[in-house]
Amino acid sequence: MQNIRLGIVSAVDASQQAIRATFPDKDDQVSDWLEPVIPPIANAVIQLPVIGEPVLCLFLGNGIETGFFIGTVGEL
């Protein structure tokens, strides 16, 4: 499994500031909840992506259970 993957947002939880991503190239596998990678900016406002938006994801280890989303990547 690759550690950096391109996925599509399939769920958004604003209270957790997290998303789930689906990976069409892997039979639509769905990640666990992924929090954003946030730069150290004072009073940063987090804008979560919307369902259907493509996102770049970073995973720790050999799977899609533990990871983060780096950001959106535009239309595919």
pLDDT of residue 76: 61
Give per-residue pLDDT as tens, 9-32.
Answer: 999 999 999 999 999 988 999 999
Mean pLDDT over each residue of the chain, to the nearest integer: 89
22 strand-pairing partners: 8, 30
pLDDT at 42 over 80: no
- Domains delineated in the chain: 4-72 (2.40.50.230)
